[in-house]
Structure 1
Amino acid sequence: MTPAFSVCVYCGSKPGASPEFARTARAVGRWIGEHGGQLVYGGGKNGLMGILADATLDAGGRVVGIIPTALVEKEWAHHECTELHVVETMHERKRLMAEQADAFLALPGGIGTFEEFFEVWTWRQLGYHDKPVGLLNLAGYYDPLVSFLQSTVRQGFMGDWQMDLIRIESDPEGLLRELVQAAGLAPAARVEQI
């Protein structure tokens, strides 16, 4: 069955300090699965990544994991993914993730999450894709980053139009729905699991 939409989610391989991060990762995965969607992510089983993937699978969604060989060898791969693609490099990983996604969403995470988020935002600015990009500012996690980005606009290194290329929200369900609709797709009616 073809998924109604495909969302690439970037998030931490650690659970983070607040239980709210894990609860929200679970809610995001559940929403994707319950609305006939497909999760594309980094293929890990640890931290928010694993919670997100498990919740998507439990809710009946498809999960496509893309992970480099070096991380598989460290036993970080989530082997229960619907599809698990093992690639040689991080560049190949990110390219495949981007190709398979209709939209991108960053949850709380560390430098890997930041790097992936900034890359797809940069690609959109340069016209390499026109897929929506969202930043879930959960519990104010990204407040310092958003403040810094606004400062770069004031300092003349970015324009408002670049900020307008991303959606920054604190409500996961609202942001997911907005991203899917901005991609020109519609989430399926909620599927109740037995």
Structure 2
Amino acid sequence: MRSICVFCGSSPGNRPEYVGLARDAGRLIAERQLTLIYGGGKVGLMGALADAALAAGGRVIGIIPQMLLEREVAHRGLTDLRIVSTLSERKFMMGVLSDAFLSLPGGIGTLDELFEAWSWAQLGLHKKPSGLLNFQGYYDHLVQFLDLTLSEGFQRPEHRAALQVGTEVGPLLDQLIAASQSTAPK
């Protein structure tokens, strides 16, 4: 695995632990010599993630739609900042450039990105692993709901299992790396 796309909030959240988590994730991604692919913002968890990866010597590619660039939220200090026309184009490009996906705490945009990348795998459009970081129980209710979709027959076991859920960023990153290696073309 060479790159990982991280979805996370453009807000910092209400607790300082969220920013700390984003910084830890950025640092650990750089330490594992992975290229960070993310939404290109300088604010919230996105900015903390990118700044930490850069500070640890990592390569960071941001992908931002023109409309957000114009609102001056783009991170101008990245290794590579790519400007696209739409949010859909942003998600597509992040998917093309990434070998795996990791979702940290965030809001509706983060959930949109998580579900789109995960559904692409379900549809067979890629075999890239997805991880959900359930930091301090943030996603407990979502995980319960996803399990309900399985028990109620709206999701197959193999599709539910395709989303790996962890509570610590380091071990979850390692799981995604291992999963990426097992699905890589031989």
Q: Deviation string for 1:113-139 (max 9, x for gaps)? A: 000000011000010000010000000
Question: Is residue 172 from structure 1 mapped to residue 169 from structure 2 by the alignment?
Answer: yes
Identity of aligned residues (%): 52
Q: Deviation string for 1:129-177 (max 9, x for gaps)? A: 0001000000000000011111111222112221111100001000011
Offset, 1:19: 1.5
- Structure 1 unpaired stretches of 5+: 186-194
Q: Matches of 2:23 and 2:177 in 1, distance apart?
A: 18
Relative to the length of structure 1, the TM-score reads 0.91
Q: Matches of 2:156 and 2:97 in 1, distance apart?
A: 29
Offset, 1:181: 2.0
Q: Which residue of 32, 35, 40 maps to 1:35?
A: 32
Q: CA RMSD in A?
A: 1.1
Q: Which residue of 56, 77, 80 maps to 2:77?
A: 80
Q: Give the match for residue 124 of structure 1.
A: 121
Q: Which one scores higher on RCO, CA 8 angstroms, separation ≥ 6?
A: 1
Give the total of aligned pairs.
Answer: 182
Identify the structure with the greater helix proportion: 2
Q: Which residue of 51, 55, 58 maps to 1:58?
A: 55
Q: Matches of 2:28 and 2:95 in 1, distance apart?
A: 20
Q: Which residue of 21, 37, 43 maps to 1:24?
A: 21
Offset, 1:67: 0.2
Q: Matches of 1:96 and 1:158 in 2, distance apart?
A: 27
Superposed, 1:1-194 pairs within 5 Å as: 5-184=2-181
Offset, 1:6: 0.4
Q: Matches of 2:175 and 2:150 in 1, distance apart?
A: 24
Q: Matches of 1:5 and 1:134 in 2, distance apart?
A: 16
More deviation in 106-115 or 151-160?
A: 151-160
Q: Matches of 2:116 and 2:32 in 1, distance apart?
A: 27
Letter of the 2:67 counterpart: A
Relative to the length of structure 2, the TM-score reads 0.95
Q: Matches of 1:179 and 1:72 in 2, distance apart?
A: 31
Letter of the 1:110 counterpart: G
SS at match of 2:10: coil
Q: Matches of 1:153 and 1:99 in 2, distance apart?
A: 28
Q: Matches of 1:99 and 1:152 in 2, distance apart?
A: 28
Q: Matches of 2:132 and 2:33 in 1, distance apart?
A: 22
Q: Matches of 1:79 and 1:36 in 2, distance apart?
A: 22
Letter of the 2:95 counterpart: A
Q: Give the match for residue 191 of structure 1.
A: none
Letter of the 1:152 counterpart: T
Letter of the 2:37 counterpart: V
